């Protein structure tokens, strides 16, 4: 576990949705330093299915060593947020940190999502985050070490994360776009970052989505609390980052992540918006006894590795050798969308080269994002990379010189009559 360092002693944190789950875990972590915690959430009376209220959370904060202010806040209501912010300033003298944690979720397709539910997700996730930030920022600008931390994912634009739950993804990515914009807008004044879990976290929301049996595939909220603490104790020039909890803690020297597992040794369920496809997540849930409350819009018995992409990589493996590696010296990652979506790699830096499905063992020098159909055409010589790039069919991130070198390999493959 990541130890407390007392760096948040006397700081005031305004945390939305802090009556339970990850929000409360972050509150308790900061409370151990002697921080002031504003618990801004809706639950004032005990809920029949959900644990805790703002008042029980306040009691836990004070028992942990912090000072608490419990405020009934629906973050869709500008007046309620404004009142809570003013109460916080009156009681604690200011606000140093804002944690935008409150969120609503519905993993349903376009036709199955009532507009009332769409409005709820956009109202809480996107508008609520923007509005709370807008009202707290004037006070953060007076702080010596101001931070905003949104619990939202990296902006992964692979269509697989939209097709099954477009409304939820739009709403959640809205929180991430707040980070993208505000980090630049307030650079040098306020640190603005996003934090997302690498694996599923045991919360009431996860129990609802995964059903009975999902808990053992999860980590506890403590890992997010420890990662948040590490981020919030950074200087204000640490800004504009989309962070994953495990990566943050590895940077802090944490090596044993079994400490965070609900059931140590049990396989963990990757979280949304990272590299695992939705179909894979459902399969992993069901393999270990969970009953997911959502299903991908369409599924196939054919594994992602089958079909034209695997055939393309068979040819790639047939033409790469030590000479190609020596002349190229680059690692490529292909992020494919469409009918044969998935992540593939081509390592032309090590040994005799290697290629296949999944993340490269070494950090990619070039990341190419495109439709799987265009990928096959490109390596068959039917679509020039330059034309694909100019037309917007291909997005390239990284070393453009290495991207150009890849064209030589494509020409060899075309001659191999892909």
**Residues carrying an active site annotation:** 168
Q: How far apart are CA 189 and CA 141, in angstroms?
A: 7
Phi, psi of 334 (to 5 degrees): -115, 115
Q: Is 286 helix (H, G, I), strand (E, B) or coil?
A: helix
User: Would you tell me how many other CB atoms lie within 10 Å of the CB of residue 167?
Assistant: 24
Q: What angle do CA 397, 399, 401 make, to 5 degrees?
A: 130
Q: Rounded to whole angstroms, what are the CA distances from 171 to 167, 168, 246, 253?
A: 6, 5, 24, 33
Q: Are residues 352 and 322 in contact, defined by beta-carbon separation less than 8 angstroms?
A: yes
Q: Are residues 150 and 176 in contact, defined by beta-carbon separation less than 8 angstroms?
A: yes
Phi, psi of 325 (to 5 degrees): -60, -45
Sign of the alpha-carbon torsion through 313, 314, 317, 319: negative
Q: What angle do CA 278, 279, 281 make, to 5 degrees?
A: 65
Residue 71 tokens read as 């405020």
User: Would you tell me how many other CB atoms lie within 10 Å of the CB of residue 342?
Assistant: 22
- Residue closest to 155 by CA, chosen among 274, 263, 33: 274
Write the DSSP string, 288-301: TT---S---S---S
Question: Residue-wise over 245-276: b if at least 16 C-beta within 10 A, else e?
Answer: bbebbeeeebeebeebbbeeeeebbbbbbeeb
Segment holding 67, helix H or strand E: strand 67-72
């Amino acid at each position: 576990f990541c130890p407390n360092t007392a760096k948040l002693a006397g700081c005031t944190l305004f945390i939305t949705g802090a009556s339970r789950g990850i929000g409360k875990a972050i509150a308790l972590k900061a409370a151990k330093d002697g921080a002031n915690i504003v618990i801004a959430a809706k639950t004032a009376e005990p809920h029949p299915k959900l644990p805790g209220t703002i008042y029980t959370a306040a009691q836990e904060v004070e028992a942990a060593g912090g000072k608490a202010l419990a405020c009934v806040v629906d973050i869709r209501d500008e007046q309620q947020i404004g009142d809570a912010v003013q109460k916080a300033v009156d009681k604690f003298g200011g606000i140093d940190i804002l944690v935008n944690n409150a969120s609503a979720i519905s993993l349903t397709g376009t036709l199955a999502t009532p507009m009332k539910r769409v409005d709820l997700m956009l109202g809480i996730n996107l508008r609520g985050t923007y509005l709370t930030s807008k009202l707290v920022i004037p006070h953060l600008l007076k702080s010596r070490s101001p931070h905003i931390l949104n619990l939202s994912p990296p902006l992964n634009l692979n269509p697989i994360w939209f097709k099954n739950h477009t409304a939820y993804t739009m709403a959640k990515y809205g929180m991430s776009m707040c980070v993208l914009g505000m980090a630049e807008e307030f650079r040098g004044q306020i640190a603005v970052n996003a934090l997302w879990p690498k694996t599923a976290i045991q919360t009431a929301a996860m129990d609802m989505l995964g059903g009975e049996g999902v808990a053992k595939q999860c980590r506890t909220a403590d890992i997010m609390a420890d990662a948040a603490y590490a981020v919030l104790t950074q200087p204000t020039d640490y800004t504009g980052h989309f962070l994953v909890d495990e990566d943050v803690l590895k940077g802090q020297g944490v090596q044993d992540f079994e400490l965070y597992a609900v059931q140590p040794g049990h396989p963990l369920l990757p979280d949304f918006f990272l590299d695992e496809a939705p179909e894979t997540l459902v399969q992993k849930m069901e393999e270990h006894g969970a009953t997911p409350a959502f299903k991908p819009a369409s599924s196939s018995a054919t594994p992602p590795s089958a079909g034209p992409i695997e055939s393309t990589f068979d040819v790639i493996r047939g033409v790469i050798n030590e000479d190609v590696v020596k002349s190229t010296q680059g690692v490529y990652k292909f992020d494919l969308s469409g009918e044969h979506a998935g992540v593939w790699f081509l390592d032309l830096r090590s040994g005799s080269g290697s290629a296949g499905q999944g993340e490269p063992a070494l950090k990619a020098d070039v990341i190419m994002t495109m439709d799987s159909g265009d990928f096959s055409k490109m390596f068959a010589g039917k679509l020039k990379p330059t034309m694909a790039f100019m037309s917007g069919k291909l997005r390239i991130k990284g070393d453009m010189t290495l991207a150009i070198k890849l064209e030589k390999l494509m020409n060899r493959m075309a001659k191999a009559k892909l």
